[in-house]
Amino acid sequence: MPRMPRRQSFDEWHSERLAQNPDFDRETDAMLRIRGPRRKLDLLLDENVAALRAELASVKDFRLHMMPAGTPDRKLWAEARRNAWVLLTADSDFWNDGEYPLRLSPGVIVVVGRTVEDRLYALARLSVAWELVPMLGRFGRRFLDATKARTSRRMIEWKIFDEGVTVTHRQ
């Protein structure tokens, strides 16, 4: 059985990075100013967010993909990983790192909300807060590898796997 990675808050992780490299913040700021080519974010929609498809199809920055209805979660996960697509779902099972290991994540976004409008708002909130499309241009299609986000109208919670450590944050 693989050993579970240690967990750290974002603040702990950030402090550790600064201790290793005092120029970490300055170098990060410089890297974030880089502008790459404009790309579309490939989203694999789980069937539980299929109602969002019409609305998301009008967003020029997204390329949408769907598997046939009834596709098992494991197959969705594998397809997202194989194609470097971000998995968009309302299924909190994908948040479970025991079932779907964070270190192997193709990028998962779990939208939380009762209505289509709630889920769209949650995704829009995350898109703006994370600058999803500009980040895609800077870092390429695998920039969300080893990342999971859970978002609602009121919060964004995320975790990343970095050098054997699970870093968590909630805003």
pLDDT at residue number 26: 80
Residue 45 pLDDT greater than 60, yes or no: yes
pLDDT at residue number 4: 64
DSSP the chain: -PPPPEEEEHHHHHHHHHHH-TTHHHHHHHHHT------PEEEEE-GGGGGGHHHHHT-TTEEEEEPPTT--HHHHHHHHHHHTPEEEES-GGGG-TTTS-GGG-S-EEEE--SSHHHHHHHHHHHHHHHTHHHHHHHH-TTTTTTEEEEE-SS-EEEEEEETTEEEEEE-
Neighbours of 55 (CB within 10 A): 14
pLDDT at residue number 136: 86
Indicate whether 111 belongs to any domain: yes
Contact between 40 and 61 (Cβ < 8 Å):
yes
Q: Give the domain range for residue 96.
A: 38-156
Closest CA to 56 of 47, 70, 67, 45: 45
Indicate whether 14 belongs to any domain: no
Indicate whether 164 belongs to any domain: no
Question: What value does the mean pLDDT take over residues 37-56?
Answer: 90
- Distance separating alpha carbons of residues 40 and 132, to the nearest angstrom: 10
Choice between 27 and 136, residue whose per-residue pLDDT is larger: 136
Indicate whether 136 belongs to any domain: yes
Residue 5: phi and psi, rounded to 5, are: -65, 150
- Distance separating alpha carbons of residues 51 and 104, to the nearest angstrom: 27
How many separate domains does the chain show?
1
Q: pLDDT tens for residues 92-141?
A: 999 999 999 999 999 999 999 999 999 999 999 999 999 888 888 888 88
